[in-house]
Amino acid sequence: MSASLSLRAVDKVYHPRGRSSVHAVKALSMEVDRGEIVALLGSSGCGKTSTLRMVAGFEDVSAGEISLANRRIERLAPAARNVAMAFEGYSLYPPLTVRENIAFALKRGRLSAGEVSRRVQEVAALVEIEPILDRYPNSISGGQQQRASLARALVRDAALYVLDEPMGQLEPQLRAVLRGRLKRLLKDRAMTSIFVTHDQTEANALADRIAVMEGGMLQQFAPQHVLKERPANLYVATFIGEPPMNVFDASVVRDDGRTMFELDNGPSFGFGDNELGPEVRQAIGKRRRVVIGVRPHRVVLGNGSAETARVVSNQWLGDQSHVAMAVAGKLLVAVSHARVRAAIGESVPYGVRAQDLHIFDVDTTVALAHGARAA
Amino acid sequence: MAQIDMAQIEIRNLHKSFKDDAVLKGLSLSVDKGEIVTLFGPSGTGKTVLLRLLAGIHPQDAGTIFLRGRDATGSPPDKRGIGMAFQNFALFPHMTARDNIASALTARKTDAGEIARKVERVAQLLKIGHVLGHSPRELSNGQKQRTALARALVADPDILLLDDPLRNVDAKLRYEMRLELPALLKRVGSTVVYVTQDFKEAMALGDRVAVLLDGRIAQCDTPARIYAEPVNVGVARLFGDPTLNLIEVAPQLVDGAPEIRLGGAAIRLPASYAAAAGSPCLLGLRPEGLRLVDGPAPGAIAVDLVAVTPLNEKSVLLLTMQGGEELLASEAGDRDEPRRPGPAHVAIDPDTLLLFERESGRRFIPAENGKGGS
Amino acid sequence: MDRNSTIERVLRAVLLTLIVIFFLFPIVWILLMSFQTNEQILRIPPSLSFVPTLENYKALISGHLLTSAGSLDIAFMRNLGNSVLLSTCAVVLALILGVPAAYAFARFKFWLSEDIAFTLLSFRFAPPLLVLLPLSLYFQELGLDDTYTGLIWVYQLIALPLILWIVRGYFEDISPDIENAYRIAGHSWLRTFFKIAVPLAGPGIAAAGLLSFIFCWNNFVFALVLASADKQPVTVGALAFVTASGIQYGQVAAAIVLSVTPTLLLALYAQRWLVEGLSLGAVKG
């Protein structure tokens, strides 16, 4: 019974008393397909939680429309929307046991007691809370409460599942296991879901598409690999990826078959027209200044490169090295999957290839080109 | 009486319980002058408790703490001469950021000019000079964190205790500080104990990593050694993302060389593991040490590639072996053609292989020159 | 949720008006009474229009009460002064004793601390009459009978438990790490108390102080039994208005208005803190 969710030009403005109003969500439009899992990703205060709460019905929409399964829902009370929500703050009913809490979500449907019991057991097994089903919320840990809250949302048959940081309180190992299971459940049952997170790994692992938000606006809505390889603007480029993309302001100098990027207070990188193709050059156009970016694991370390830089830090993390070098007054981070034996203070050669460059407009921060293709 | 050969911080056999819960059970650790030791372990295992005992906030039940060669028992927090940054910042809400930082100097009766100078200097270092006049309420999380750190550093303490100071900070700033902190701390020259729950942070920041498990320090070693030579299964599992694969095996000697059966294939172990033959073991396989190979090969296991999860700079592959056991492998970088689920073969890199005694969990140390031991 | 229908809004307004009228009515009536003469007050049917008079206030302030049976000397202003003196001193003393004690209860879990704290609170439960008679005997023996000192001491029974419980809650609310951080920065625990704990618990201390003031001010029985006329507060002094020639309603009303005004003004001034302090005291039980 899942169907698609559609948001059209949704706005949310808060008017706290005694302070100026806050425009938390600005003209947000997005379409979620049936059975799709979508993540709202962003740092705190970007508007993702406000958006989620508007979809679930706990906040009014200041402007715009929300539709679910071709039905306008932005004016309906939460209970009338056929949306199941798992809250960040657990919010279990204290006088009921965990089992009763989960079963409560099924009260509206006309299911036999046996069926209810079976479903509760099934979802409890998924999130591994079977041993505490008959305990009360005040006697279980924060992580267990969170899982119970999640189970309560998942046990229902709803058109949309809305999850607010569903695994924030859980430790990394458990999170990894539950993520796998949750994804499998959502996919097997074609449950359309939308969840909020600030953790990229979680977004990557669970979502079909990720909506990156910042300052109340949708920055880009695409699958993970598109966000990584073709970020729409500088914000997405530096937000997605750990370590974040290295970015530098540079001046563009065209010289007879070569394009030079002169980094402010730093080295210059030149590329022949065979490396930096016509499409890219056209995208740069007549601009004299751009922002160039390169992902840490694309920085080439080692001999054969013209430029060298002083190593500021070299950290070995078991399966990869993170080497930070002083370039153009900032730090350039390179990631290598081999041990890099360079001491702090040593100069190492490094290089950047044209196919790994991301170029952004310096004023609008919109992406101009990624690698060999225009944005 | 100061003992010159003692480390800057020396902890001997520390015990601490809360009500009936024994948190520290005979913990011992030494930290040398100028060293950064990261204290790492799962949540709730007592890392913060240890830091508080070092600071003098709580008294220990048993055991001794020596600071700078002197027994610190009975010494109150204000007399220990340490700097501490708390996980929850613990900034004074009714004072400006400037006064918060200055509080570490006002106790020592430094003159006002000197105090102002030192506060400015440390604020510039941590890039919070422009918010010194704000109250904590008006600061962002990142600024609060740096203010708390500034307060710990401003008096140039020779002993610094940092309790997960980057936890509440957003990912981008966290990474930046992870790069800049070691340089900053080395410049100040303090002896540092840094608590973290993130193994990458522990490995990145520490000269040595001390793993707190079960109320004691299970291992305290350089990051490289902790990762490659963990003392037991407990420690091995804490490092690595995704976590280490663990499979029960029973090595046998075949033609004088140790061999195990895995997923229907016979895998030869390096000869230095010969002494492990005949005992029940746990095989530890690091995901990055499992490589997909093009076809069947000696030492390669037939698997089914079930799912591919692309993460930021690597992909995680979920594989199942013949017997249904799951393995996680990780692959670096991007491929032009994403892998498709289906049958495949995987080879094990012997350098990242770990073998543990099944019962005790202790790592089996491969012999040099053919003599084994554990 | 702001899904308001017009009906809900109208209903809410009506209800609020009714409640406000219900609570304010006696106060407004008494205020009006204080500007009327006895005859106007006792007129049947009662009327809202009258010619206001300041006779009652003049009588109270000058100390001469004019009744049909003659003139009476009422030392009302002296009573007012006593109220101010007793309440203020009692509260100040209770704060000096209670705030450090509250801190001790909050921060140091010493042996029997919970029991001692509860015992101190229990003084509020016991009806004063229980202790009053034996207390008056002791006071006479000790020479404290009919002294300001004695009364201020007894008023601690009212003020101290309140301050202890409210302020303790505020101290407990301060994260211990904030104080620890100050200690580690090199300051002694005494300095930490004055520079960190007390300022941060400020609202609670003010609220507790105000509440204690109000309760001390309203107290009747202690002063009635343990003091004589020249030391009695307004609560007891009001009895004097029941005269041989009848109850002087006008002056009583004026006396009430004058008695209530100081505490009302104080409460209005600090109302925000009062609510905060009250709820906190209730929760930290």
H helices of A207-318, in order, are: 224-229, 234-239, 278-284
Lowest-pLDDT range, A221-225, A309-313, C221-225? C221-225
Q: Which structure tokens are listed for C223?
A: 């002063």
Q: Are A158 and A27 in the same domain?
A: yes
Decide if A49 is inside a domain: yes
Q: Are A23 and A169 in the same domain?
A: yes
Mean pLDDT of A346-356: 91
pLDDT recorded at residue A108? 73
Which of the pair, B2 or C220, is modelled with greater confidence? Answer: C220
From chain C, the residues in CB contact with B104 under 8 A are 185-186
Question: Which chain C residue's Cα is nearest to A57?
Answer: C1
pLDDT recorded at residue B334? 64
- Please state, in angstroms and rounded to a whole number, the distance separating the CA atoms of residues C136 and C226: 6
Q: Which of A198, A316, A335 sits opposite B224 (nearest CB)?
A: A316
Cβ pair B78:C200 closer than 8 A: no
C5 CA: distance to closest CA in chain A (Å): 14
Cβ pair B78:C178 closer than 8 A: no
pLDDT recorded at residue B372? 42
Summarised one tens digit per residue, pLDDT across range A59-78 is 889 999 999 988 899 888 88
Contact map slice: C 183-222 vs B, CB within 8 A: 183-189, 191, 196, 199-200
pLDDT recorded at residue A79? 83
Residue A14 touches partner C, C-beta closer than 8 Å? no
- What CATH architecture does domain B9-232 belong to? 3-Layer(aba) Sandwich (3.40)
Cβ pair B55:C188 closer than 8 A: no
What ipTM was predicted for this assembly? 0.84
Cβ pair A172:B241 closer than 8 A: yes
Hey, which chains touch B, using 3+ CB pairs under 8 Å? Answer: A, C
Beta-carbon-side half-sphere exposure of residue C30 (alpha carbons within 13 Å): 16
Q: Are A258 and A367 in the same domain?
A: yes
The domain boundary, picked from A164, A196, A231, lies at A231
Ramachandran quadrant class, B171 (left: phi over 0; alpha: psi -120 to 50; beta: rest): alpha
Segments making up each domain of chain B, as ranges = 9-232, 245-357
Question: Which chain A residue's Cα is nearest to B175?
Answer: A243
- Is residue A3 over pLDDT 80? no
Q: What is the DSSP string of B294-338?
A: SS--TTEEEEEEEEEEE-SSEEEEEEEETTS-EEEEEEES--SSP
pLDDT recorded at residue B76? 92
From chain C, the residues in CB contact with B84 under 8 A are 181, 184
- Is residue A251 over pLDDT 50? yes
pLDDT recorded at residue A87? 80
Using a CB–CB cut-off of 8 Å, the residues of A that contact B are: 43-44, 171-173, 176, 180, 198, 200-201, 204-205, 224-225, 228-229, 238-244, 295-297, 312-313, 315-320, 322, 324, 331, 333, 335, 337, 344
* Residue C47, SS3 per DSSP: coil
Residue B125 touches partner A, C-beta closer than 8 Å? no
pLDDT recorded at residue B127? 81
Q: Strand B62-67: give its sheet, edge to edge.
A: B21-31, B9-18, B62-67, B70-71
Range of the domain at A16: 3-231
Summarised one tens digit per residue, pLDDT across range B170-184 is 777 788 888 888 888
Q: Are A15 and A43 in the same domain?
A: yes
Decide if A238 is inside a domain: no
Q: Which structure tokens are listed for A76?
A: 């309906």
Lowest-pLDDT range, B106-115, B231-240, C31-40? C31-40
* Residue A141, SS3 per DSSP: coil
Segment of A211-220, A305-314, B327-336, C39-48 carrying the highest mean pLDDT: A211-220
C40 CA: distance to closest CA in chain B (Å): 56
Beta-carbon-side half-sphere exposure of residue B370 (alpha carbons within 13 Å): 2
Q: Which of B78, B81, B94 sits opposite C188 (nearest CB)?
A: B78
- Is residue C222 over pLDDT 90? no
Q: Which of B179, B239, B334 sits opposite A313 (nearest CB)?
A: B179
pLDDT recorded at residue C105? 92
pLDDT recorded at residue C283? 36
- Please state, in angstroms and rounded to a whole number, the distance separating the CA atoms of residues A302 and A352: 11
Decide if A295 is inside a domain: yes
Mean pLDDT of C146-170: 90
- pLDDT band at C129, cuts 50/70/90? confident
The domain boundary, picked from A175, A198, A231, lies at A231
Mean pLDDT of B219-232: 93
Percent of chain A at pLDDT > 90 equals 35
- Is residue A147 over pLDDT 80? yes
pLDDT recorded at residue C285? 29
Q: Which of C184, C188, C200 sits opposite B82 (nearest CB)?
A: C184
Q: Which of A238, A297, A324 sits opposite B333 (nearest CB)?
A: A297
Q: Are A166 and A285 in the same domain?
A: no
H helices of C108-231, in order, are: 113-125, 128-142, 148-173, 176-184, 189-192, 198-200, 202-218, 221-226
pLDDT recorded at residue B335? 65
Percent of chain C at pLDDT > 90 equals 25
- pLDDT band at B373, cuts 50/70/90? very low
From chain C, the residues in CB contact with B75 under 8 A are none
Read off the CATH number of the domain in which A99 is found. Answer: 3.40.50.300
* Total number of domains in chain A: 2
Average pLDDT score over chain A: 87
pLDDT recorded at residue B311? 74
pLDDT recorded at residue B38? 96
- pLDDT band at C69, cuts 50/70/90? low
Q: Are A41 and A93 in the same domain?
A: yes
Mean pLDDT of B242-258: 87
Which of the pair, A20 or C166, is modelled with greater confidence? Answer: C166
pLDDT recorded at residue A273? 86
Question: Which chain B residue's Cα is nearest to A245?
Answer: B172
From chain B, the residues in CB contact with A333 under 8 A are 179
Decide if A38 is inside a domain: yes
- pLDDT band at C274, cuts 50/70/90? low
Summarised one tens digit per residue, pLDDT across range B88-147 is 889 999 999 999 999 999 988 778 899 999 999 989 888 888 889 998 988 877 788 889
C3 CA: distance to closest CA in chain A (Å): 9
CATH number, domain B245-357, options 1.10.630.10, 2.40.50.140, 3.10.20.70, 3.40.50.970:
2.40.50.140
Q: Which structure tokens are listed for B63?
A: 């055991």
* Residue A203, SS3 per DSSP: helix
Q: Are A74 and A191 in the same domain?
A: yes
Q: For helices C249-269 and C271-283, what crossing angle results, to 10°?
A: 80
pLDDT recorded at residue C72? 67
Question: Which chain B residue's Cα is nearest to C199?
Answer: B94
Summarised one tens digit per residue, pLDDT across range C203-214 is 889 889 988 998
Between chain A and chain B, the number of residue pairs with CB atoms below 8 A apart is 91
Sequence-separated (6 or more) residues with CB below 8 Å from residue A148: A90, A92, A98, A101, A102, A127, A129, A132, A137, A140
Average pLDDT score over chain C: 83
- Please state, in angstroms and rounded to a whole number, the distance separating the CA atoms of residues A327 and B111: 40
Summarised one tens digit per residue, pLDDT across range C98-125 is 999 999 999 988 888 888 888 888 887 8
Question: Which chain A residue's Cα is nearest to C3?
Answer: A60
Sequence-separated (6 or more) residues with CB below 8 Å from residue C210: C266, C267, C270, C273, C274, C277
| Residues A129 and A147: beta-carbon distance below 8 Å | yes
Q: Are A220 and A268 in the same domain?
A: no
Segment of A255-269, B213-227, B283-297 carrying the highest mean pLDDT: B213-227
- Is residue C2 over pLDDT 50? no
Read off the CATH number of the domain in which A347 is found. Answer: 2.40.50.140
A28 phi/psi in degrees, rounded to 5: -85, 125
Which of the pair, C16 or B270, is modelled with greater confidence? Answer: C16
Q: Are A211 and A329 in the same domain?
A: no
Summarised one tens digit per residue, pLDDT across range A158-188 is 889 999 888 776 777 677 777 778 888 888 8
- Is residue A318 over pLDDT 50? yes
Mean pLDDT of B14-18: 90
Which of the pair, A189 or B309, is modelled with greater confidence? Answer: A189
Task: Pick the residue of A144, A185, A247, A315 with the most B CBs within 10 A to test the interface with B by mutation.
Answer: A315
Summarised one tens digit per residue, pLDDT across range B34-61 is 999 999 988 777 898 999 999 999 999 9
- Is residue A58 over pLDDT 50? yes
Q: Are A138 and A201 in the same domain?
A: yes
Summarised one tens digit per residue, pLDDT across range A86-117 is 887 668 888 999 999 899 888 877 788 888 89
Summarised one tens digit per residue, pLDDT across range B344-369 is 888 888 888 899 998 888 998 887 75
Cβ pair A228:B224 closer than 8 A: no
pLDDT recorded at residue C284? 33
Cβ pair B330:A319 closer than 8 A: yes
Lowest-pLDDT range, A34-38, C87-91, C249-253? C249-253
The domain boundary, picked from A173, A200, A231, lies at A231
Q: Which of B179, B199, B311 sits opposite A201 (nearest CB)?
A: B311
pLDDT recorded at residue B64? 93
**Residue B85's Cα: distance from chain center in Å?**
18
Q: Are A273 and A143 in the same domain?
A: no
Q: Are A164 and A71 in the same domain?
A: yes
Segment of A148-157, B196-205, B217-226, C275-284 carrying the highest mean pLDDT: B217-226
| Residues A206 and A39: beta-carbon distance below 8 Å | yes
Cβ pair C184:B88 closer than 8 A: no
Task: Please check whether the two domains, B9-232 and B245-357, share a CATH topology.
Answer: no
- pLDDT band at C185, cuts 50/70/90? very high
Q: Which structure tokens are listed for A267?
A: 């080295």
Residue B310 touches partner A, C-beta closer than 8 Å? yes
